[in-house]
Structure 1
Amino acid sequence: MKRFQLSQLQLLLLSIIITAVLSVKGYSQSYTKGEFRDSIANQPYFSIHKDNYFITGVPTNKTIDRTTANAKYQISFKQILTRSRLPWDTYLFMTYTQKSFWNIYKESFPFSDINFNPSIAVGKAFFDKKDKLKGIANLSFEHESNGRDSIFSRSWNRLSLEYTTNVAKNTIGRFKVWLPFGYKEGNPDLLEYAGLGQINLSHIIKPDKFFFDIRFRKGLNLDLKGSVRTRLYFNPFDNNISNQYLMLEWFVGQAEGMLNYQQSQSMIRLGYVIRTNEFKWLSGK
């Protein structure tokens, strides 16, 4: 199988972007412990978890035709299970995310892969000595599978720990590691492509108008297996009370979907997204 690797130019461009983002100093005014608790108490039980989107596009590393172009969409929500504070000031919630790859340019419009990702999690906020919000940690049990059987079955379970915090002005970092289990039947080499964690940086270029997001994953081995996903969000509307944006996404690497996780991809897609504001508290007031 031919492996797709990031070129030196691509790696250099990514390094320049990250350096520029992280070199900016200063922060927005942070939430206090009381303000954060009030916000948790007043937010809806049911809300968006990850981005909800419909995007379509073409590959950059193979011939473009109706078999290689496709659409991808995702639905994701979060349900708070208890508003009352649990021990150690934690709160309990569940999430569900479904990501689908849809061959809308082929006859009969078949779905090539559908991935299901439910979880149950405990969240906790951390504050500094002045009771200002520093970050939010989530400990979750996740299952992910494609709901198929026989040789097409793909699934894994993981215990995940994620910490989200401000890393620079207008930049939020999400650092996630996982302890996987129950994956060796059907996809025993999955970790060579998905790795043991990911780093996600989200930068506000212009509030409520223009955002940049990048996510890194590295496989277990020393080769270049893994993935880089970059996103640009643009709001074309004068008022944006519903977090609606246009999104340009470029995915490079492996394990974009579960069925063909070993297959290398370089896909550029464009479409509509309702962007999550799950960590709005870290954007400041």
Structure 2
Amino acid sequence: MKKLILLVFLITSIFANEKNDDLYAKAKKFENEHNYKEAMLIYKQIAQQNTKEVKILDKDGANEATLFVDKEKLEEVKATKKVLDPIEDKETRNTLSQMLASSFDLYPYEENYFLPFSYASKSNNDRKHVETVFQLSVKKPISYNFFGLKESINFGYTQTSWWQLYSESSPFRETNYRPEVFVMIPYGKKDKTYLKSLKFGLLHESNGQAGSTSRSWNRIYAQSYFQFSSLFFSPRVWYRIPDGANDDNPDIEDFLGYGDLTFYLPYKTQTFKLLLRNNLKFDDSNKGFAQFNWTFPLFGSKNTFGFVQLSSGYGDSLIDYNHEINRFSFGISLSR
């Protein structure tokens, strides 16, 4: 159940502390037994130990909607409440409570990282070998169990930027934007199956540029998640929605193909991820891409990780979809 595993990683990275080791071990035991309900109850208990109730009171002392916020946020909320004038309308007060607690249910989606050193094999007069790469990725749950399949409907947004930090004027060479809507459906709760969940999505990707450097495409995709002990295996296939006469990159599928394959391996405090992509043309026009990520706790931290990335092939970024590039990067990651 990939969604569960991702949630486990999220909770671990944000709320982990030494006192919770026994609870984590107990939750992991339930998870290995496919008793996901009991496991989730324990993970929720761990999270609540690190949060506290916040209530905004009206001028007569009546309680408003209860919010749970991080303890580090609590003092900021209290201080702000003291200087605010009372508001008569209940719905307005509830909205204010949400604003103060920053409670908008945004969660990490793909990796969030900052790689100050990234060496690429391609360069020219305006593009140096060494640059900085960073990625921001969040998701917003929209609905749960709308179709009665215990599925979750989400909006995701991922932004990856290539920054020529060490060049004169330090320009941003390119930024790729990937908004998407996707559905996650858990699978195999009662009987032990290798298939854990299914994912279906609509994904847009572009680089926000104009003219000859403009790149964009839209895809619908289907993805599945399999578990073999601690190894996770995730094949994805996609169909490109035609762009018509205004297509910026009509041959992009010749280089990026029609799907990819990802392997995940969490081992103790480390994670290993391998992404493979190929156009499946077994002749001189064969094009492929491979990317390997390694994360590990940074100086003993449980919510900041060292991040090493190696990649080779076509599609390093949208502007380079038809260029072969080898890259080595390292830095820090805030989610994995």
The count of corresponding residues between Structure 1 and Structure 2 is 244
Instruction: Select 1:226's aligned residue among 288, 291, 294.
Output: 288
Asked whether the 8 Å contact 1:128–1:134 carries over to 2, the reply is: no
Instruction: Select 2:222's aligned residue among 161, 164, 170.
Output: 161
For residue 267 of structure 1, what is the aligned residue in structure 2? 327
Relative to 1, partners in 2 of residues 1:125 and 1:84: Cα closer, same or farther, differing over 3 Å? closer
For residue 32 of structure 1, what is the aligned residue in structure 2? 35
For residue 140 of structure 2, what is the aligned residue in structure 1? 79
Q: CA deviation at 1:66?
A: 7.1
What is the DSSP-based 3-state SS (H/G/I as helix, E as strand, rest coil) of the residue aligned with 2:177? strand
- Give the distance between the partners of 1:93 and 1:180, measured in 2 at CA: 21
Q: CA deviation at 1:224?
A: 3.8
Asked whether the 8 Å contact 1:247–1:270 carries over to 2, the reply is: yes
Instruction: Select 1:139's aligned residue among 189, 197, 200.
Output: 200
Relative to 1, partners in 2 of residues 1:99 and 1:61: Cα closer, same or farther, differing over 3 Å? closer
Asked whether the 8 Å contact 1:193–1:220 carries over to 2, the reply is: no
Instruction: Select 2:311's aligned residue among 226, 230, 251.
Output: 251
Asked whether the 8 Å contact 2:131–2:163 carries over to 1, the reply is: yes
Asked whether the 8 Å contact 2:184–2:200 carries over to 1, the reply is: yes
What is the DSSP-based 3-state SS (H/G/I as helix, E as strand, rest coil) of the residue aligned with 1:105? coil
Asked whether the 8 Å contact 1:33–1:127 carries over to 2, the reply is: no
Asked whether the 8 Å contact 2:280–2:286 carries over to 1, the reply is: no
Relative to 1, partners in 2 of residues 1:83 and 1:246: Cα closer, same or farther, differing over 3 Å? same
For residue 164 of structure 2, what is the aligned residue in structure 1? 103
Higher strand share: 1
Let me know the Cα RMSD of the aligned residues: 2.9
The alignment's TM-score, normalised by the length of structure 2, stands at 0.65
Structure having the higher Rg: 2
Relative to 1, partners in 2 of residues 1:60 and 1:258: Cα closer, same or farther, differing over 3 Å? closer
Q: CA deviation at 1:46?
A: 1.8
Cα deviation per residue 1:201-223 (whole Å; 9 max; x = unaligned)?
11123x22x22211100025324
Q: CA deviation at 1:86?
A: 2.9
Residues 1:90 and 2:151 are matched in the alignment? yes
Q: Which runs of 5+ in 2 are unaligned?
A: 1-30, 48-103
Q: How does 1:177-188 map to 2 (within 5 A)?
A: 177-183=237-243, 185-188=247-250
- Give the distance between the partners of 2:213 and 2:136, measured in 1 at CA: 23
Higher helix share: 2
Q: CA deviation at 1:130?
A: 3.5
Q: CA deviation at 1:200?
A: 0.7
Asked whether the 8 Å contact 1:30–1:133 carries over to 2, the reply is: no
Q: Which runs of 5+ in 1 are unaligned?
A: 1-27, 277-285
Instruction: Select 2:188's aligned residue among 127, 132, 139.
Output: 127
- Give the distance between the partners of 1:41 and 1:145, measured in 2 at CA: 37
Relative to 1, partners in 2 of residues 1:37 and 1:275: Cα closer, same or farther, differing over 3 Å? closer
Asked whether the 8 Å contact 1:248–1:270 carries over to 2, the reply is: yes
Q: CA deviation at 1:262?
A: 0.8
Q: CA deviation at 1:148?
A: 1.4
Q: Percent identity?
A: 21
The alignment's TM-score, normalised by the length of structure 1, stands at 0.76
Q: CA deviation at 1:39?
A: 8.7
